[in-house]
Amino acid sequence: MIDPQPGEAQARELTRLRQELAELKAAQGEDGFRLRRLAELGVAQAKLNHDLRNALAPALMLADRLSGSEDPKVGRSGKMIVTALDQASALIATTLEFAIEKSAVPALASCPLAAVMTGLVAAIGPDFPAFQVDMQIPADLTVLADRAMITRAFGHMLRTAAKAQAKRMTVSGERAGDEVLVVLQDDGRPFRDPNIPDPLSAFSGAFRYGSSGLGLVIARDVIEAHGGTLTLLPDPEAGRTIMEVMLPARD
């Protein structure tokens, strides 16, 4: 067998390199397009939120006036309109947040879990005055986490329960070896179909009343970025929704 001439081998190698370079440029072009589209979505989110607030303001003012009517039927109608408009606004905001969500690297530090949850309860309290949270987390229980990110994740969990008309949620936490176990139980309306595979995935169809389910998808992604897990547990007693969170413990 005759070996190829050095010039032929070099030509083939040059052709191969050109092909790989072309493929790399094509991939970079696709990545650049995605990045530009994400940036455009971010701008669109800000504009849409602004325009949406302006568009809904007259309707909300009218609904507030109706809800204050002395006629009970008119008052109930006004409150229903306010609730529907709030849900529509929250749905759009959560969908846009999910669309532009980027994988962030957590800035890990010691994070006192009880303080995080107490701050969240105080923050969402004015929006959901009927929603009560029973905290059963030791004051010295800490996790290794990015405080801003983990606050955002638990915030989605609490708001999802409140929007599902939960009146009471119990949040407990304990050390479990090298991890911290957090269990959230509430009495709100259940998931549409919690037994389908991977109910916390996007557009799984397992959403709760008043929510698209995307908030919990974002929460799960944040927790998994910390090396943890978010699991929807089977309900041994009717009328409860139970979620379990595992996060790395802080020594």
The per-residue pLDDT string of the chain (251 residues; one tens digit each, 9 = 90 and over) reads 445 555 677 777 767 767 776 666 665 555 565 666 666 666 666 666 666 666 666 776 777 777 777 777 777 776 677 666 666 666 666 666 655 555 567 788 899 999 999 999 998 888 889 999 999 999 999 999 989 889 989 998 998 889 888 899 999 999 999 999 999 999 888 777 666 667 676 655 555 665 666 788 888 888 988 999 999 886 756 668 889 999 998 76
SS3 for 82? Answer: helix
- Residue 97 vs residues 72, 138, 148, 177, 221: alpha-carbon distances, Å: 38, 32, 16, 34, 13
Residue 100, φ and ψ in degrees, nearest 5: -100, 5
Beta carbons of 111 and 154 less than 8 angstroms apart: no
Q: What is the rounded distance in angstroms from the CA atom of residue 114 to the CA atom of residue 141? A: 7
Phi-psi region of 172 (alpha: psi -120 to 50; beta: other; left: phi over 0): beta
pTM score, two decimals?
Answer: 0.62
